[in-house]
């Protein structure tokens, strides 16, 4: 399968995203996937699955993912999701398990907004509210870095060693939002969450990009329009803004042209696309 790829300071993210068709993102370094709107070989190997919402273009691969991991006797996956859909998911997977006539092994973990889940020493994540037509949430991945306290910045190696030997606490941990993933949402996701605007990389849905499907239409269906991103261009503090979930009605070329046309340069020069690698820009 021809996946999209995005790399940021040595961290690779892969996947695909077409609005209303399928969206799935994997982050191999972290043993983590976000949404599963389809399946392809190898996708079932990631142990943590973060679900933004239950629309099938983000969800249809989930029963297969659980089934395959159970069959292959892989560790039960940790599946995180908006807490409102907990009961339905329990029932749904119980029915699938019955239909397949074997036991599904999985950990269902409903998340409160803002609740932090630690993945390892370096990374953790939290869910933030999104604004869609069904219960939904986006995810922000945080990096913890150990840094020297600012008051010791001027010391040399030997002096630092001396303080350490004296048992002084000379370092502190700094937590930064590194990646945010919107899932499907109206523009309020950006306006309401500072950590999302400050994430070094933001994967943001941009389902509609022209006046044939205007802002009103986008808002009615719980999505973000390019014109709203343009209107709020000054709010984005991200180093990279990766746009995805475009409606399949648009060609890659038209998408690139609209971005150039409607976004101010200070934002358009930070835009990346999550297109399949072999996507021809002429198409
Ligand atoms: Zn969608
Ligand atoms: Zn949706």
CA 160 to chain centre: 39
Query: What was the pLDDT predicted at 53?
Result: 98
Distance (Å) from CA 102 to ligand 1 centroid: 31
CA 52 / ligand 1 centre spacing (Å): 10
Token representation of residue 173 = 């941990």
Ligand approaching nearest to the C-alpha of 134: 2
Distance from Cα 20 to the centre of ligand 1, integer Å? 5
Q: How far is the CA of 163 from the centre of ligand 1 (A)?
A: 54
Q: Decide if 109 contacts 137 (C-beta within 8 A).
A: no
Q: Which ligand is nearest to the CA of 53?
A: 2
C-alpha 133 – ligand 1 centre gap (Å): 11
Report the separation in Å between the CA atom of 184 and the middle of ligand 2, taken as the mean of its atom positions.
5
Cα 245 to ligand 1 centroid, rounded to whole Å: 7
Distance 194 CA to ligand 2 centre (A): 23
In this predicted model, what pLDDT tens digit does every residue of 5-15 receive, in sequence order?
999 988 899 99
Instruction: For CA atoms 53, 59, 64, 69, give the dihedral sign.
Output: negative
Q: What local confidence, expressed as pLDDT, does residue 283 receive?
A: 52
Ranges of beta strands (E only) in 107-255 are 107-111, 116-118, 123-129, 137-148, 171-181, 201-205, 240-244
- Please state, as a whole number, how many other Cβ atoms lie within 10 Å of the Cβ of residue 126: 20
Distance of CA 154 from the midpoint of ligand 2 (Å): 51
Q: How far is the centre of ligand 2, averaged over its atoms, from the C-alpha of 185 (Å)?
A: 8
Percent of the chain with pLDDT over 90: 83
Q: Residue 9: what pLDDT?
A: 84
Average pLDDT over residues 237-243: 98
**Cα(37) to centroid of ligand 1, in Å?**
9
- Give me ligand 2 centre to Cα 168, in Å: 51
pTM of the model: 0.93
The confidence band for 43, taking pLDDT boundaries of 50, 70 and 90, is confident
Per-residue pLDDT, averaged over 173-179, amounts to 96
Alpha helix segments (H runs only) across the chain: 56-59, 62-71, 86-100, 157-165, 188-192, 194-198, 215-220, 226-231, 252-262, 265-268
Q: Which ligand is nearest to the CA of 17?
A: 1
Q: Is residue 28 pLDDT above 80, yes or no?
A: yes
Could you tell me the residue ranges of all domains in the chain? 4-144+181-273
Is the pLDDT at 282 greater than 60? The verdict is: no
Considering every ligand atom, which ligand is closest to the CA of 245?
1
Residue 280 has pLDDT above 70, yes or no: no
Q: What is the pLDDT of residue 209?
A: 98
| Per-residue model confidence (pLDDT) at position 156 | 87
Write down the pLDDT at residue 225. 98
Residues contacting 116, CB < 8 A, separation 6+ = 124, 125, 126, 142
66-125 pLDDT, tens digit each: 999 999 999 999 999 999 999 999 999 999 999 999 999 999 999 999 999 999 999 999
Give the chain's mean pLDDT: 94
Which pLDDT tens digit goes with each residue over 131-171? 999 999 999 999 999 988 888 888 888 888 888 888 888 88
Q: Inform me whether the pLDDT recorded for 38 exceeds 90.
A: no
What topology is assigned to 4-144+181-273 in CATH?
A: Metallo-beta-lactamase; Chain A (3.60.15)
pLDDT at 189 over 60: yes
């Amino acid at each position: 399968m021809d996946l999209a790829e995005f790399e940021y300071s040595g961290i690779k993210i892969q996947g695909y995203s077409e609005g209303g068709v399928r969206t799935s993102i994997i982050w191999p370094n972290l043993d983590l996937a976000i949404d599963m709107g389809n399946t392809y070989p190898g996708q079932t190997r990631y142990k943590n699955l973060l679900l933004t919402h239950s629309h099938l273009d983000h969800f249809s691969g989930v029963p297969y993912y659980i089934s395959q991991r159970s069959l292959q006797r892989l560790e039960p996956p940790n599946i995180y999701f908006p807490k409102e859909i907990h009961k339905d998911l329990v029932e749904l997977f119980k029915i699938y398990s019955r239909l397949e006539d074997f036991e599904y092994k999985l950990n269902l973990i409903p998340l409160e907004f803002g609740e932090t889940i630690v993945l390892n020493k370096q990374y953790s994540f939290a869910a933030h509210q999104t604004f869609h037509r069904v219960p939904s949430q986006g995810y922000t991945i945080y990096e913890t870095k150990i840094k020297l306290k600012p008051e010791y910045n001027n010391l040399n190696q030997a002096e630092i060693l001396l303080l350490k030997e004296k048992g002084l606490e000379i370092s502190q941990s700094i937590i930064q939002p590194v990646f945010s993933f919107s899932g499907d949402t109206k523009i309020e996701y950006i306006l309401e969450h500072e950590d999302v605007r400050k994430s070094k990389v933001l994967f943001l849905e941009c389902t509609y990009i022209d006046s044939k499907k205007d802002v009103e239409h986008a808002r009615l269906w719980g999505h973000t329009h390019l014109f709203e991103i343009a209107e709020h261009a000054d709010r984005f503090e991200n180093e990279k803004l990766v746009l995805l979930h475009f409606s399949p009605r648009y060609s890659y070329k038209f998408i690139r042209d609209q971005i150039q046309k409607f976004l101010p340069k200070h934002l358009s020069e930070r835009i990346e696309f999550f297109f399949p690698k072999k996507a021809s820009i002429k198409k």
